[in-house]
Amino acid sequence: MAARHDLPEPDAFTRAYWDAAAEGRLLIRRCGACGRAHHYPREFCPHCWSEDVTWQPATGRATLYTWSVVHRNDLPPFGERTPYVAAVVDLAEGPRMMTEVVGCAAGELRAGMDLEVVFREGTPVFRAVTSVTSRN
């Protein structure tokens, strides 16, 4: 079996994040000193350097900031997924997050589009929000 390059290697600090993701929940860190949220998970606030940071559930809502369509990647299992959309999203809580956009053709992508988190094998990825309206 080939090595996989898409699955995390949790450590003692990030285990809470990856365990929550395996349960379908997205966590971020929030600083008790300055109140700002951040992502990727760190033991200190990157804004004010306080160590008073805690895990907080995120809404899973985001907007697309930028993206690139990847047509070639030789690392397993990415080669089987090409083309795929590598992206940076703005989480509703404020931080930016690197991720993948799934279920959306490259031609449908636009900056600022609404996204929601979904999970693939315990890893957060995002898809376009489809709004359902009823007409009477």
Q: What is the pLDDT of residue 134?
A: 38
pLDDT band for 133, please (50, 70, 90 cuts).
very low
102-129 average pLDDT score:
95
Q: What percent of the chain has pLDDT over 90?
A: 78
30-58 average pLDDT score:
97
Tell me: the pLDDT tens digits for 76-85? 888 888 999 9
51-66 average pLDDT score:
98
Q: What is the pLDDT of residue 5?
A: 80
3-state helix, strand, coil in the chain (%, to 5): 10, 35, 55
Q: What is the pLDDT of residue 135?
A: 41
In angstroms, the CA 120 to CA 73 distance is 18
In angstroms, the CA 16 to CA 54 distance is 11
Higher pLDDT, 121 or 2: 121
Residue 75 pLDDT greater than 90, yes or no: no
Instruction: State pTM to two decimals.
Output: 0.89
| Torsion sign, CA atoms 121, 123, 124, 127 | negative
Higher pLDDT, 2 or 114: 114
Indicate the average pLDDT of the chain: 92
Residue 64 φ/ψ, nearest 5 degrees: -75, 125
